[in-house]
């Protein structure tokens, strides 16, 4: 059972808990140091101490995944957390240039999103509205270089444009199909499309991570709906 913490360590634990529960993300060491008025090294040491005392769990010393623990040493249900990078933006309308720089991170329920190496992309546009993917959503993606017909994928088009669409392979071309009748399907040669990932869930809200708690139930339902589609299509 975790032992009683001295004031400074309790302050750090309370700070981490507030950040996760209110904003859906764990802060960077630099942000935590600035908010708490201490050094970067002090925060790093504090995290190691909290882990040693059984208040949190990190898979590795430098892991971006953080689990807050119950007094019994178990991962608390609301805190089965994993942190994934938000990588640039993609469009669900007309493709835009694929940015490579990280734009922050997204904290997910690790009990729902279990696949390794997940990443998130922010969606712009409404062409996937019929699949419950809206403008401003964060698409949670599993890295893939292949896709089955009907999968919702992140595809890189002509080496520089990224888009979220349903994937269909035809004898003479690849079709990227929107889920909005206002948009027409896009057809490309086999050498023009590179699948980057499969969309496995959605986090909703203007800021994505800031609204994670309110949207957790909706996102989990959408995640299960996508899995059901996979079962029906034999994926």
Q: What is the set of active-site residues?
A: 127, 165
Length of the chain: 235
For residue 58, give both structure tokens: 């990190």
Return the residue matching tokens 């690790």: 110
Cβ distance 90 to 120 under 8 Å? no
Q: How many CB atoms lie within 10 A of CB 131?
A: 21
Q: How many CA atoms lie within 13 A of 226 on its CB side?
A: 24
Radius of gyration of the chain (CA): 20
For residue 186, give both structure tokens: 């896009």
DSSP annotation of 216: H
């Amino acid at each position: 059972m975790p032992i009683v913490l001295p004031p400074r360590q309790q302050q750090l634990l309370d700070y981490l808990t507030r950040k996760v529960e209110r904003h859906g993300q764990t802060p960077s060491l630099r942000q935590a140091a600035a908010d708490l008025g201490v050094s970067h090294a002090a925060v790093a040491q504090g995290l190691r101490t909290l882990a040693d005392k059984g208040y949190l769990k990190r898979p590795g010393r430098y892991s971006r995944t953080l689990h807050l623990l119950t007094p019994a040493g178990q991962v608390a249900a609301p805190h089965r957390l994993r942190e994934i990078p938000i990588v640039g933006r993609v469009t669900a309308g007309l493709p835009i240039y694929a940015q490579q720089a990280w734009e922050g991170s997204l904290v997910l329920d690790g009990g729902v999103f279990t696949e390794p190496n997940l990443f998130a992309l922010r969606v712009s546009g409404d062409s996937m509205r019929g699949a419950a993917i809206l403008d401003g959503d964060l698409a949670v993606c599993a890295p893939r270089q292949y896709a089955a017909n009907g999968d919702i994928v992140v595809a890189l088009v002509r080496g520089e444009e990224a888009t979220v669409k349903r994937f269909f392979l035809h004898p003479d071309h690849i079709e990227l199909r929107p889920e909005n009748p206002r948009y027409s399907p896009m057809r490309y040669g086999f050498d023009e499309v590179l699948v980057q990932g499969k969309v496995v869930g959605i986090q909703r809200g203007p800021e994505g991570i800031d609204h994670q708690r309110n949207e957790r139930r909706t996102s989990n339902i959408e995640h299960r709906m996508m899995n059901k589609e996979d079962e029906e299509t034999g994926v």
